[in-house]
A = this chain, B = another copy of it.
Amino acid sequence: MGSLDSNTPTDHAAGQFNPLDPEEFRRQAHQMVDFIADYYRKIETYPVLSQVQPAYLHSQLPHTPPYRPEPMDAIMKDVQSQIIPGITHWLSPNFFGFFPATVSTAAFLGEMLCTCFNSVGFNWLASPASTELEMVVMDWLAHALKLPSSFMFSGTGGGVIQNTTSEAVLVTLVAARDRALGVHGIDFLSKLAVYASDQTHSTFSKACRIAGINPANIRSLPTSVEGGFALSPAVFQSAVEEDLAAGLIPLYLCTTVGTTSTTAVDPIGALADVARDYGVWVHVDCAYGGSACICPEFRHHLNGVDLVDSVSLSPHKWLLSYLDCCCLWVKQPGSLVRALNTNPEYLKNKPSESSSVVDFKDWQVGTGRRFKSLRLWLVMRSYGVANLQSHIRSDVRMARMFERLVRSDPRFEVTVPRLFSLVCFRFVPKRARGPGQIERANRRLLDWVNGTGRAFMTHTVAGGKFMLRFAVGATLTEERHVLAAWKLIKEGADGLEERS
């Protein structure tokens, strides 16, 4: 710690401090590449779920920053000994929790390039390539998804990369809100009502709260296991009618293709048909499920998308793109820009004033923005739609295999029909009496499996039922990992039965 050799950055006392010497950069970055390749090579040797206790790091690190530079070797030793034990290894092939966050060499290279240029593309002039490549790539992905041209720059709409779904929902909600308030007046803010199913991601109600929607007017509409946890158009229509009768203004409906709990799919066409009659903005959150729709056999889940106002999909979930990258398409970019534009003097420039260019700062919450499209561009070119389709199909195939394994063991049940690469299931011990005991057994099984460090799953509750989620999708996962995880789960069940 703190020792200075010829490889450490020059100390301030010794003269010029040059933190971006190209040859020093080259040397250290090559070392980091090897560190990372080695990490990927041995990732299976780490416990998937970190087994540390809260505040584990606090006692290991100094409480103030060092005054003198430290050599990179010492820092990397600490990464190995202090950081890696505290990491839940999302890239492990034995990670089946949440939705896995998929990655790829091409995306990593794209991210390196993005970092390299560090071009801050708030407006076109600040880095034209950043804006223009994003426009191209957003149209490319729209083509791969067979979105109508009303969502493309080559048509009448357009797309933009947000950080996460939360922001995609927030900015479209604000666009819809301001469009409505433009008609009714600011005093009607507390009268606006918004809709989603009780399966919609919590990010929706959070975005509504941030945007100043009256919490009393955020509707969480009921779904059922019989209805596949999809939002019923009739339920939606009743809620809208009820709100209208109460003097409220129906504003925004957030539909989902592939909910987080169980990958339920809302019938977006039928819902949009209802919404249109009431002037309600319809958003499709297909953060996870949308990626599958690049395959013809899954595309029907997006049927009716031509009727909605906006769509968001997160390639960081299932299109090999690393965090964070959420693609948002809108039919009326003007409504986003009216709600989110700024025009300070220090950013004024001729191309922006001529309206011949897109300034993406007016499509998002922040001003600064990274050159994120490079990642998606490299992924799509380096793999081609063909390989991306086969990647989706491979994950679905493995999930189908896991589903068959669950069904083959009478102690287990598949709790929700599988649609994509997530299997919801539970352990039903023979001697269990009632739902309370079943839930406790599944909680114990989950803790035991995750505690081994050999696989990681998560849980949910849907339709009042506690269930385990086995989400296939980590980039490195192969059939053998799924088989090993199933064996582990059965081993856990055996142990629980013996002890009960």
Contact = CB atoms under 8 A, between A and B. Distances in A.
A69 B365 contact: no
A120 B144 CA distance: 27
B368 A365 contact: no
A227 interface: no
Nearest to A103: B118
Interface stretch (A54-62, A239-247, A411-419, A481-489): A54-62
Contact of A210 (B66, B365, B382): B365
B381 A75 contact: yes
Q: Most chain-B Cβ atoms within 10 A of its Cβ — which of A19, A345, A382? A: A19
A183 interface: no
Given A33-B33, A90-B120, A387 B128 contact: no
A143 interface: yes
B75 A101 contact: no
Given A113-B79, A382-B75, A129 B86 contact: yes
Nearest to A217: B186
A335 interface: no
Contacts of A37: 22-23, 25-26, 29
A87 interface: yes
A179 to B, nearest CB: 13
For this chain, the copies found in one complex come to 2
Interface string A143-158: 1100000000010000
Interface stretch (A200-208, A271-279, A490-498): A200-208
B143 A19 contact: no
A357 interface: yes
A84 B113 CA distance: 11
Interface in A56-99: 56-58, 61, 63-70, 72, 75, 79, 82-91, 98
B202 A186 contact: no
B9 A382 contact: yes
A225 interface: no
Nearest to A316: B368
Contact of A345 (B115, B214, B322, B461): B461
A166 interface: yes
A83 B67 CA distance: 40
A75 B385 CA distance: 16
A458 B127 contact: no
B41 A22 contact: yes
Contact of A70 (B104, B202, B382): B382
B365 A56 contact: no
A164 B120 CA distance: 12
A215 interface: yes
B75 A378 contact: yes
B20 A339 contact: no
Contacts of A389: 12
Contact of A17 (B40, B41, B64, B383): B383
Interface stretch (A134-142, A399-407, A430-438): A134-142
Contact of A211 (B210, B344, B386, B461): B210
B386 A345 contact: no
A42 to B, nearest CB: 9
Contact of A65 (B68, B143, B351): B143
Contact of A381 (B32, B66, B127, B460): B66
